[in-house]
Amino acid sequence: MPETLLIANPAPLNCLTDDEILFRDNVRQFAEDKIRPLAKEMDEKAVFDQDLLGQFFQLGLMGIEIPEQYGGAAGKFFEAILAVEEFSRVDASAGVIVDVQNTLVANAILRWANDEQKKRYLPRLAADTLGAYALSEAGSGSDAFALQTKAELRGNDFILNGRKLWITNGKEAGLFILFATVDALKGYKGITAFLIEKKFPGFTVGKKEDKLGIRASSTCELILEDCRVPKENVLGEVGKGYKIAIETLNEGRIGIGAQMLGVARGAWEYASKYAQERKQFGKLISEFQGIQFQIAQMATEIEAARLMVYNAARMKDAGMDFVKEAAMTKLFASQVAERVTSLAVEIYGGYGFTKDYPVEKYWRDAKIGKIYEGTSNMQLATIAKMVMAK
């Protein structure tokens, strides 16, 4: 298969302004030229290319919403979503790196940090420092706030002890938003968010997971052994970590929706093209109605997912309540990605089951969409609570 595809224009133009179209097209071209040629090798080696990561910073894609005064691009959340979609179309690992940096880490600091923390960390996030969001632990998956990591104030520092698991960007990150409890008796009201630098004493990045998909994106364990964190590195206020985590994850779920949208698009493009090249029984398989219906169904679901992703992102930028829409977006887009990538493998037949062809990677990358930043069942619980309350 050729490395570069002919790209049909997938977005309804009336959903985008001229500036957004230009931004999207520039990001798409960069993804085609720079990311796609490296995607297979990065997946096989499970290592993200550091030169490529440096280019993300140079292009301003790691600080899209960060104001210009801090060295950022002063863009909108919607533009971050476009970047995640376009990167994920060629490599979901690239998409999730940009997603976590913008929709979780930078977003949380912009919203909750004090002026001094913004001056200290936002320029670094925009220039050269990758961020990570450390909430999950071994015993707190969907019950994300059953935290065992403890924080104790001693003088001017908090001393943290515990372990975090499944932390995206863990290997490369220089800054971590990490959640711990200062008082277990207070339950979620004791949870506090901390800004932790990789160099802080007592902080160690542990095992890097060997994953099914998004393999080039590092997912690591974090180990805190009497980790000393200055009390001025509390993000927000002591005891406000639950609120910070919940509200940040609501925004992050739109980013996961964009990632899954990009994954589905990438797989569909390959499958549609292959169907117009592969012959069976003396004619192209795209001439068989069964294949035509599959491709049409895939395209329809991708379009529906796109409109949900874009709508939720627009609502966030407009300052509207988007919690229900974010949950719906993540739920539906992850379902679409799983279905579309699976069908893409089937359209390729036996070839689709081999690593010589690209669709098996899309299928592997799609599975995580139903799991991280809130499982599908957790999204359904959120949606049910909100729609039944009316």
CATH number, position 210: 2.40.110.10
226 and 247 share one domain: no
- Is residue 265, in this structure, part of any structural domain at all? yes
> Same domain for 256 and 232?
no
Q: Active site includes 360?
A: no
Q: What is the pLDDT of residue 139?
A: 85
254 and 368 belong to one structural domain: yes
On whether residue 4 sits in a domain, the answer given is no
* pLDDT over 90 (residue 27): yes
Q: Identify the active-site residue in 65, 86, 301, 373.
A: 373
Q: State the average pLDDT over residues 188-217.
A: 97
Q: Who contacts 356 (Cβ-Cβ below 8 Å, separation ≥6)?
A: none
SS3 203: strand
Task: Give yes or no: residues 223 and 247 share one domain.
Answer: no
Percent of the chain scored above 90 by pLDDT? 92
Distance separating alpha carbons of residues 57 and 64, to the nearest angstrom: 10
Give a yes or no: residue 248 inside a domain: yes
- Are 121 and 136 in a shared domain? no
Domain boundary among 239, 263, 290: 239
Does residue 7 fall inside a structural domain? no
Rounded to 5 degrees, φ, ψ at 18 are -60, -40
> Which residues are registered as beta bridge partners of 193?
179, 235
Q: What is the mean pLDDT of the chain?
A: 94
8 falls within a domain? no
Identify the pLDDT of residue 390: 64
Residues 114 and 206 in one domain: no
> The whole model's pTM is what?
0.94
- Of 73 and 144, the structure prediction assigns the larger pLDDT to 73
pLDDT for res 14: 53
**Contact, 176 vs 196, CB < 8 A?**
yes
Choosing from 130, 160, 180, the residue where a domain stops is 130
Whole domain around residue 23: which residue ranges?
A: 13-130
pLDDT of residue 315: 96
Tell whether the model's pLDDT for residue 2 goes beyond 60.
Answer: no
pLDDT of residue 10 exceeding 50: no
Does one domain contain both 255 and 363? yes
DSSP lists the bridge partners of residue 196 as 176
Residues 6+ apart with CB under 8 A from 94: 31, 35, 39, 48, 52, 56, 87, 88, 216
351 and 380 assigned to the same domain: yes
Say yes or no: 26 and 116 in one domain.
yes
Residue 177 lies in a domain: yes
The reported pLDDT for the residue numbered 142 is: 77
Least confident of 60-69, 75-84, 144-153, 340-349: 144-153
Question: How does residue 8 score in pLDDT terms, banded at 50, 70 and 90?
Answer: very low
Last residue of a domain, one of 91, 109, 130: 130
Inter-residue contact 195 to 117 (CB < 8 Å): yes
pLDDT value at residue 1: 37
Complete DSSP assignment for 195-240: EEETTSTTEEEEEEP--SSSTTS-EEEEEEEEEEEEGGGEES-TT-
Asked if 203 contacts 226 with a C-beta cutoff of 8 angstroms, the reply is no
Q: For residue 55, what is the domain's CATH number?
A: 1.10.540.10
The whole-number pLDDT of residue 3 equals 39
Domain match, 181 and 168 both = yes
- The answer to whether the beta carbons of residues 134 and 125 sit under 8 Å apart is no
How many independent structural domains does the chain possess? 3
- Average pLDDT value for residue range 227-247: 96
CATH number of residue 366's parent domain: 1.20.140.10
| 267 within domain boundaries | yes
Q: Are residues 369 and 379 in the same domain?
A: yes
Distance, CA of 71 to CA of 60 (rounded, Å): 9
Mean pLDDT within 168-196 = 95
Residues 300 and 351 in one domain: yes
